[in-house]
């Protein structure tokens, strides 16, 4: 038996902004759509996931986290790979290995700032730096209220560099009935941008 074939690969980074449910739901949908996911979690993202969701992550290393998430989301062998924050030899750390698309969901103000100035101090920042320098797809999902001038300037700067700011701002025109509907609104827009077929939300006019 050879390696299972996946339709595409996406780097998904979760950072410590509120809205962990968006990132976890995106992960679930990508895996269900036969996308291979390279997952990066900041330390703050782990705290937010524990605080905001029923997904209580194990305390251990990336291998333990990997087994936990494989199990929780029913990932196929080799479909989900978790990389540590100092894993400079991972494919996402170089233009020669990074996939065509990266999403940071949710994206904290701190990570926005670090990417906007090219800090590259951890693997999430480095992977985003690689996406920018290689002119690959980079989507950031910020969540803050209100935005400061610094947040707004960083978002404008990143947009001008070719990244996309897709805020965690669900619409209400589809008359959401539940929290899940609101989460799915944003996740559907992300899947659309990634070119992954979704049935969470019809397109406008359908």
Ligand X SMILES: Cc1cc2nc3c(=O)[nH]c(=O)nc-3n(C[C@H](O)[C@H](O)[C@H](O)COP(=O)(O)O)c2cc1C
CA distance 34 to 196: 9
Q: Is 79 in the site for ligand X (CB under 6 A)?
A: no
Residues within window 156-185 making contact with ligand X, judged by CB under 6 A: none
We find the least distance from the C-beta atom of residue 130 to ligand X, in angstroms, to be 17
CA distance 93 to 131: 9
What totals of helices (H) and strands (E) does the chain contain, helices first? 7, 6
CA distance 120 to 98: 15
For the beta carbon of residue 143, count every other beta carbon within 10 angstroms: 20
Q: Is 116 in the site for ligand X (CB under 6 A)?
A: no
The contact pattern for ligand X, residues 83-112, with x = CB under 6 A and - = no contact, is: -------------------------xxxx-
Interface residue with ligand X among 15, 21, 66, 154 (CB under 6 A) is: 15
In the chain, the largest separation of any two C-alpha atoms, in whole Å, equals 54
Q: Is 44 in the site for ligand X (CB under 6 A)?
A: yes
Q: Is 95 annotated as a binding residue?
A: no
Q: How many residues does the chain have?
A: 206
Interface residue with ligand X among 37, 48, 115, 141 (CB under 6 A) is: 48
Give me the phi and psi of 38, to 5 degrees please. -105, 115
Q: Is 147 annotated as a binding residue?
A: no
The annotation places the binding site for FMN at 16-18, 42, 108-111, 143
Q: Which residues contact ligand X (rule: CB under 6 A)?
A: 15-18, 42, 44-45, 47-48, 51, 108-111, 143-144
């Amino acid at each position: 038996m050879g390696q299972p074939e996946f339709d595409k690969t996406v780097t998904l980074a979760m950072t410590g902004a509120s809205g962990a449910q968006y990132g976890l739901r995106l992960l679930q949908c990508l895996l269900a759509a036969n996308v291979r996911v390279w997952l990066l979690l900041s330390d703050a993202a782990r705290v937010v996931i524990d605080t905001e969701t029923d997904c209580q992550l194990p305390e251990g290393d990336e291998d333990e986290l990997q087994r936990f998430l494989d199990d929780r989301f029913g990932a196929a062998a080799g479909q989900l790979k978790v990389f540590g924050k100092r894993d400079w030899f991972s494919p996402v750390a170089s233009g020669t290995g990074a996939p065509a698309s990266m999403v940071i969901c949710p994206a904290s103000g701190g990570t926005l700032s670090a990417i906007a100035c090219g800090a590259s101090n951890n693997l999430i920042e480095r992977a985003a730096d690689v996406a920018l320098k290689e002119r690959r797809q980079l989507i950031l999902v910020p969540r803050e209220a209100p935005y400061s001038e610094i947040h707004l300037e960083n978002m404008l700067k990143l947009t001008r560099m070719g990244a996309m700011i897709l805020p965690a701002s669900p619409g209400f025109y589809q008359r959401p009935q539940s929290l899940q509907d609101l989460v799915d609104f944003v996740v559907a827009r992300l899947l659309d941008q990634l070119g992954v077929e979704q049935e969470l939300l019809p397109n406008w006019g359908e």
